[in-house]
């Protein structure tokens, strides 16, 4: 901790960097790290596990050492320590791959995990998971991706991007945006972005991609609607100079899942604590920091946009292959 705060000044500098990822996952980690033993007040109940293990992916964070990310979570986790009082030992495990995390779930080595919704759809039939919560924002329970250009670029439609340069969000963090791009390409009858565009590069940050278009350093970029709105607030000229060429449906970002090997009683207590966080003072402070409105109980309808996009991608791909 001492090393972390000495290197980062002020303390919130690193915290703001964590906004690159979904607010849902950040809040999830906060809650997990708040599960410290509260010796004199802790509930003694056979439903409560003696060890509470939570897992997340290192790819959740961008441009920050995972150890520093964990340190930040521990600092802010103290603010919500009172939300759930259990005499248990918590352990946070960081995974370098989804496979290793899912292997841990299958072995019963994790009580709670947060995974990208697109990955959840891939593993839900083979991995024992109970979807419990998703994060919320001003546009629903996920991200709306925008394809932006400059208004004076002469680019009026997707077909005008042939031979142009394109910036994309990191696929490890925003995979649904890459799937959406493939659907746009398939609608044009093209299956390869490297032949359609002159250059395609990943931008480490949404804000950098937006400003690259603003300063004519690239022809087009895929960004999040929330990211564009923040940039417009900071620099109103962004709104007057940039044009939205296309917009994706709302695509679910993360699903917070519980492991069915834990007792139903424990899962109910945990769900109650997470729900109460929405109305707590500390919870609202965290929501402001991580630019999210809160968390909401999972409903299958929240995955509709992503599932429809996957089906459309499969249909268009099959159609394009059949024509060749």
- On the question of pLDDT at 197 being above 80, the answer is yes
Write the pLDDT tens digit of every residue in 249-280. Answer: 999 988 989 999 888 988 888 888 778 777 77
- On the question of pLDDT at 72 being above 70, the answer is no
Tokens of 121: 């759809």
Go through 121-145 and write b for each residue having 16 or more CB atoms within 10 A of its CB, e for each that does not: eebeeebebebbbbbbbeebbbbbb
Nearest Cα residue to 175 out of 26, 35, 313: 313
Tokens of 36: 């410290």
Could you tell me which residue, 8 or 95, shows the higher pLDDT? Answer: 95
Phi, psi for 120 (deg, rounded to 5)? -60, -40
Q: Could you tell me the CA-to-CA distances from 273 to 28, 120, 277 in Å, in that order?
A: 12, 23, 6
pLDDT at 13: 37
Tell me which DSSP letter residue 184 carries. H
pLDDT at 277: 72
pLDDT at 101: 93
Kindly list the structural domains of the chain, giving each domain's residue range(s) and its CATH number in brackets, ordered by start: 2-139+251-300 (3.40.190.10), 145-248 (3.40.190.10)
């Amino acid at each position: 901790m001492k090393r972390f705060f000495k290197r980062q000044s002020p303390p919130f500098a690193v915290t703001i960097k964590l906004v690159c990822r979904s607010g849902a996952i950040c809040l999830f980690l906060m809650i997990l790290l708040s599960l410290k033993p509260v010796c004199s007040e802790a509930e003694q109940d056979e439903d409560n596990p003696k060890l509470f293990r939570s897992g997340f992916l290192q790819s959740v964070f961008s441009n920050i050492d995972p150890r520093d990310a964990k340190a930040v979570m521990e600092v802010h986790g103290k603010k919500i320590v009172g939300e759930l009082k259990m005499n248990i030992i918590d352990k946070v495990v960081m995974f370098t791959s989804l496979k290793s995390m899912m292997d841990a779930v299958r072995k019963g080595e994790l009580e709670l995990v947060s995974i990208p919704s697109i990955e959840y759809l891939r593993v839900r039939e083979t991995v024992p998971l109970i979807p419990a919560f998703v994060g919320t924002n001003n546009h629903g329970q996920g991200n709306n991706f925008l394809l932006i250009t400059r208004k004076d670029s002469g680019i009026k439609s997707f077909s005008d991007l042939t031979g142009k340069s394109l910036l994309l969000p990191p696929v490890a963090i925003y995979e649904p945006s890459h799937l959406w791009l493939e659907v746009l390409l398939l609608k044009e009858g093209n299956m390869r972005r490297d032949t359609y565009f002159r250059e395609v590069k990943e931008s480490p940050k949404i804000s950098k991609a937006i400003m690259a278009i603003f300063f004519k350093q690239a022809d087009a970029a895929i960004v999040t609607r929330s990211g564009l709105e923040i940039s417009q607030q900071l620099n109103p000229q962004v709104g007057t100079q940039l044009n939205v060429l296309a917009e994706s449906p709302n695509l679910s970002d993360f699903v917070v899942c519980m492991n069915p090997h834990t007792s139903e009683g424990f899962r109910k207590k945990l769900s109650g604590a997470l729900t109460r966080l929405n109305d707590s003072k500390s919870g609202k402070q965290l929501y402001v920091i991580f630019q999210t409105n809160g968390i909401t109980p999972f409903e299958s309808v929240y995955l509709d946009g992503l599932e429809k996009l996957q089906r459309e991608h499969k249909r268009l791909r099959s159609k394009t292959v059949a024509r060749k």
